[in-house]
Amino acid sequence: MPLRNRLSLAILLILLVVLLTIVFAPFAVSNGLRLWIWWAARQEGFVASIDKVDASFLRPVVIRQLHLKSVRDNAFRVDLTATDASVGLNFKHVLLHMRGRIIRNLSIRELRVELHRTNPNLRAITRRGWATLQRLLPENLSIANSEVRVENGPTLILLRRGVLSASETEAGRFSASEVMIASPWLRQTFSQLRGATHWETNRLTLGGLTLSRGLDLQSATADFSRLGKQRVGLQFEVDVFGGKIRGNISDEWRSQHSNWKIAGGASDISLGQTSDAFGFADRVDGLLHAANFTFRGNLAEPDRVTASLWSELTGLTWRNRTAEAIMLGAAVYNRKIQLQQLYIRQRSNQFTLSGEADFPTNSSGWLSPDFRGNISASINQLGDFVALFGANPGDFAGKITIEGAMDTRDRKFGGRLAIEGASLTFFKTEIDSLAAKVNLKGTELEIEQLEIKRRNDSLSGQGKIDMSGDHNYSGTLDARADNLLDYFSSVRRATGKSADRIPVDVQATINSSNWDAHGVVRVLDSNPISFTANFPLRIGTDWNAFQLSPLNVTVDFPSIFLAKAPQLFHPAIFQDGILSGSVSLSETLQHPRITGDVQLVNGKLSGDGWTSFNLVEASSRIAFAGNRASVEFFNVATKDVDLLLRGEILFDDPNDVTVRMSAATPIFDLTSSQIDCVNKIQIAPAVLPLAPAVAEFEFHGGVFQSGWTVALQEDAGSQSLAISDPDGAARKLLLCLGTSPEEKTLTLGALPRAETNVEATRSKGQKKRR
pLDDT, tens digit (0-9, with 9 covering 90-100), for 443-500: 778 888 999 998 889 999 999 988 777 778 999 999 999 888 777 655 444 444 456 7
Per-residue pLDDT at 767: 47
Q: Which of 122, 177, 112 is nearest to 150 (CA)?
A: 112
Rounded (5°) CA angle 192-196-197? 125
Give pLDDT tens digits for 664-693.
Answer: 888 888 887 777 788 888 888 887 666 678
Q: Which residues, at least 6 apart from 5, have a Cβ–Cβ distance to it below 8 Å?
A: none
Closest CA to 518 of 548, 477, 550: 477
Chain mean position to CA 320: 19
Distance between CA atoms of 491 and 493, rounded to whole angstroms?
Answer: 5
Sign of CA dihedral 364, 368, 372, 377: positive
pLDDT, one tens digit per residue, over 56-78 is 766 788 899 999 998 776 667 88
* DSSP 8-state assignment for residue 25: H
CA gap 364, 21 in Å, rounded: 69
Q: Tens of pLDDT along 571-616?
A: 567 888 999 999 999 999 888 999 999 999 998 887 655 667 888 8
How far is Cα 710 from Cα 94, in angstroms, rounded to an integer? Answer: 105
Residues 6+ apart with CB under 8 A from 1: 9
Structure confidence at residue 26 (pLDDT):
67
Residue 680 has a pLDDT of 83
For 625-643, b where at least 16 C-beta lie within 10 A, e where not — what string?
eeeebebeebbbbbebbbb
pLDDT more than 90, % of the chain = 36
Asked if 465 and 455 touch (Cβ cutoff 8 Å), the reply is no
Q: Which residues are paired to 375 by β-bridges?
A: 353, 404
Distance of CA 414 to the CA centre of its chain: 28
pLDDT of residue 486: 77
Tens digits of residue pLDDT in 261-288 = 999 999 999 988 888 776 666 778 999 9
Average pLDDT, the chain: 83
pLDDT at 493: 44
Mean pLDDT of all residues in 201-225: 90
Q: Counting every residue, how long is the chain? A: 770
Q: At what angle do helices 3-43 and 127-135 cross, to 10 degrees?
A: 130
Which range (9-18, 234-243, 351-360, 733-742) has the least confidence? 9-18
Question: Helix or strand or coil: residue 234?
Answer: strand
Higher pLDDT, 474 or 3: 474
